[in-house]
Amino acid sequence: MAETRNEPLAAWLKAREMSVAKLTDAVNDAILKITGKPGVTSERTVWRWLSGENQWPQALQRTALEIVTGLTTTDLGFVPRGKDTTVSPPPAAQPEDPSVHRRRFVGAATGTAAAAIPLVSAGSRPSRVGTSDVIRLRDSVENLVELDAVRGGHTALERAALAGASEALGLQKQSTTQRVRQRLFAVASDFTATAAWSMIDAGLLDNAGRHLDRALTLAGMAQDADMTMQVWNLRAMLARQRGEYAEAVAAAQAARATTVVRRSPMHASLAHARTAIGLAHAKEHRAALRSLGRAEDAMAKADLSAPLPTWMSFYGPAELHSITAIVRNVVGHPAEAEAASHRALSALPATYRRNRANATIHLALAQLHQGDVEQAVTTGGEVFEIMAGAPIPGRMRQALGDFQRDLITLAPSAHFAHEWIDRYRTEWSTP
């Protein structure tokens, strides 16, 4: 069945001038009142409800939606799956829901037990593989994306993602239809790309390239242009981290050549932005700024309210401002980089603390490159306040290392620079 936009839910949001972010917060608050624990529903989940990709939320989410809206789940445009035609029971009688297992998965995986937590339910599988299996595995991919938002990239997430890919590939062998097989190949590609991203974010690059090669093969088998672009986007990021700037540009250009870019301005914007970063590091500064301009033009044509695929939900005006700050810093325009960093921080929700921390690092670099050393070290210290209580991913530690090197180079005798280094060295360098 083709996915159909959930017009009743969209109309409810529009009538109340409520954003996706506010609905997400409201649902999580309602779950907190029901269970005593904060909900973990993400904006990605709400976008999937709106797009029709997820036509029947989990039971606890359905109850929360009914509390928030005062409407039944079906009145909100949702369609029960299979035999699940019951209305959500009252909160006091609510049975344990898969989202509770999700919270346990996320909570356990932030420590050392991620690999021991099952990615999907252990109940018996239906004898016939079909769309419900695809939906279940897509939900598991989303679990991992939420875990990444909490914990950052790490090896336990990598293992869980690869286990999901293995299950998807096992199921495709049992599928009786070509459509379902292709969708399972796409899910397997998504899982494998997630494993690669986890390693990139953790700064553990040795396995990432191999995972991306596999993900690209699976995306080809799926004939899925969106997954193909996801892989090339990650390949560009990996190459840049390795200092292989010509390859970073080539990978970003391959992303631009995918068919999804021709029909989606948001995909086009991301591909041009990624190209701009590669070109800036390759010292092709004029070409980098042209690509950055194309990224801005493409985003201006995009419908920012339209849902995005889960892997791309990070991208929007705030992320483009952050990328602009990176490019402007590299090409030697620190004042413009500082302005872009401030725009990024203004646009980012407070809950996106890793994104805010990354934007703050680039703000500190821009201030440092303008000679405002004291302000730069103050700003750099804010990164640790933003990330307090959470691990600092390897990619972020590398950015902090770049800041320290520039700090030593540009202000070797400044006492507050040495104080910053002494105070934060252990924090930013500890895995």
The pLDDT score that the predictor gives to residue 276 is 98
pLDDT > 80? residue 424: no
pTM over 0.75: no
CB burial of 105-122 (b: ≥16 within 10 Å; e: otherwise) equals bbebbbeeebeebebbee
The pLDDT score that the predictor gives to residue 421 is 82
pLDDT > 80? residue 6: yes
* pLDDT 10s digits, 28-57: 877 777 776 767 788 788 888 888 888 888
* pLDDT 10s digits, 382-410: 998 888 877 788 888 888 988 989 998 98
Helical packing angle, 155-174 and 131-151, nearest 10°: 170
Pick the residue with more confidence: 143 or 292? 292
Q: What is the mean pLDDT of residues 203-219?
A: 92
Map the chain to HEC letters: CCCCCCHHHHHHHHHCCCCHHHHHHHHHHHHHHHHCCCCCCCHHHHHHHHHCCCCCCCHHHHHHHHHHHCCCCCCCCCCCCCCCCCCCCCHHHCCCCHHHHHHHHHHHHCCCCHHHCCCCCCCCCCCCCCHHHHHHHHHHHHHHHHHHHHHCCCHHHHHHHHHHHHHHHHHHHHCCCHHHHHHHHHHHHHHHHHHHHHHHHHCCCCCHHHHHHHHHHHHHHHCCHHHHHHHHHHHHHHHHHCCCHHHHHHHHHHHHCCHHHHHCHHHHHHHHHHHHHHHHHCCCHHHHHHHHHHHHHHHHHCCCCCCCCHHHCCCCHHHHHHHHHHHHHHHCCHHHHHHHHHHHHHHCCCCCHHHHHHHHHHHHHHHHHCCCHHHHHHHHHHHHHHCCCCCCCHHHHHHHHHHHHHHHHHCCCCHHHHHHHHHHHHHHHCC
pLDDT > 70? residue 123: no
Burial category of 15 from C-beta neighbours within 10 Å (exposed 0-12, middle 13-18, buried 19 and up): exposed
Q: What is the mean pLDDT of residues 276-290?
A: 97
Mean pLDDT of the chain: 83
The pLDDT score that the predictor gives to residue 250 is 97
Q: Which of 30-39, 200-209, 236-245 has the lowest mean pLDDT?
A: 30-39
- pLDDT band for position 103 (50/70/90)? very low
pLDDT > 80? residue 12: yes
The pLDDT score that the predictor gives to residue 429 is 60
Q: Which of 113-117, 231-235, 242-246, 294-298 has the lowest mean pLDDT?
A: 113-117
- pLDDT band for position 125 (50/70/90)? very low
Q: Which of 273-287, 312-326, 387-401 has the lowest mean pLDDT?
A: 387-401
pLDDT > 90? residue 147: no
Q: Which of 62-76, 137-151, 275-289, 382-396 has the lowest mean pLDDT?
A: 137-151
Of the segments 82-91, 130-139, 143-152, 162-171, which one has the largest average pLDDT value?
A: 162-171
